[in-house]
Chains A and B, each alone.
Chain A
């Protein structure tokens, strides 16, 4: 089945460690995105990529890095994770020139830093 796969679903790390969240899509979408959602908050854009080997910072890019070496993959690394309430990380993808850039989400990954 076509879709967006995020892994792992739940992740625990110690403060100061790096952590990488995986995102793979088989929808043949050109654009991919990472959003973060904190408890009771809306979605904030971390990074987005319109094409392979190119990406742009979103509103909260500090402390994160990404790569886009393949169309299907857009991993997110949290560098030196800080202790905070668990955050929900959402990967998404779209065909930017189709349906007004409708994006579709993976199932999300919960990151807890202890």
Chain B
């Protein structure tokens, strides 16, 4: 089992729709969770992070965390063609002796069609 799993997609949604991206993780001790967006050939850029169970909203983006079920999701409202990119889920996994290391899923490719 991979430590962080995402459906590679592509996930295709029409412009203006809600895009839902999902991620599951294996380490129950993980404390912090991140979503990054990566355009082709570019480095990842942070969208948002979440620590606590529930929802966290930032503009058109909402991150949802459920530690009991070990999943984290990202909702993108009013999707725009410029949102077309690969979305990477990352989990900070506890490592004895230090603050942990960030492990990434393989990413989900989102296509927003005009």
B44 and A101 form a contact (CB under 8 A): no
* Residue from the list A42, A45, A97 in contact with B105, Cβ < 8 A: A42
Question: In whole angstroms, what is the CA distance A31 to B31 when docked?
Answer: 18
B46 and A102 form a contact (CB under 8 A): yes
A42 and B102 form a contact (CB under 8 A): no
* Residue from the list B45, B92, B104 in contact with A43, Cβ < 8 A: B104
A107 and B43 form a contact (CB under 8 A): yes
Q: Mark B76-101, 1 if CB is under 8 A from A, else 0.
A: 00000000000010101001001111
Q: Does B60 count as interface, using CB distance less than 8 angstroms? A: no
Task: Tally B residues with Cβ within 8 Å of A.
Answer: 27
A42 and B106 form a contact (CB under 8 A): yes
A101 and B105 form a contact (CB under 8 A): no
The answer to whether A96 and B43 touch (CB under 8 A), given A41-B106, A42-B107, A102-B34, is: no
Task: Tally A residues with Cβ within 8 Å of B.
Answer: 27
Question: In whole angstroms, what is the CA distance A50 to B102 when docked?
Answer: 12
* Residue from the list B6, B42, B49 in contact with A100, Cβ < 8 A: B49
* Residue from the list A41, A56, A103, A107 in contact with B102, Cβ < 8 A: A103
The answer to whether A105 and B44 touch (CB under 8 A), given A50-B99, A58-B101, A99-B49, is: yes
Closest Cβ of chain A to B87, distance in Å, is: 11
Closest Cβ of chain A to B97, distance in Å, is: 9
Q: Does B62 count as interface, using CB distance less than 8 angstroms? A: no
* Residue from the list A42, A99, A106 in contact with B43, Cβ < 8 A: A106
Question: In whole angstroms, what is the CA distance A45 to B100 when docked?
Answer: 12
Q: Which residue of B lies closest to A43 (CB)?
A: B104
Q: 10 A-B pairs, CB-CB below 8 angstroms?
A: A43-B44, A44-B104, A45-B101, A90-B43, A97-B99, A99-B32, A102-B32, A106-B43, A107-B42, A108-B43
Give the interface of B toward A (CB within 8 A): 6, 8, 31-34, 42-46, 49, 51, 88, 90, 92, 95, 98-107
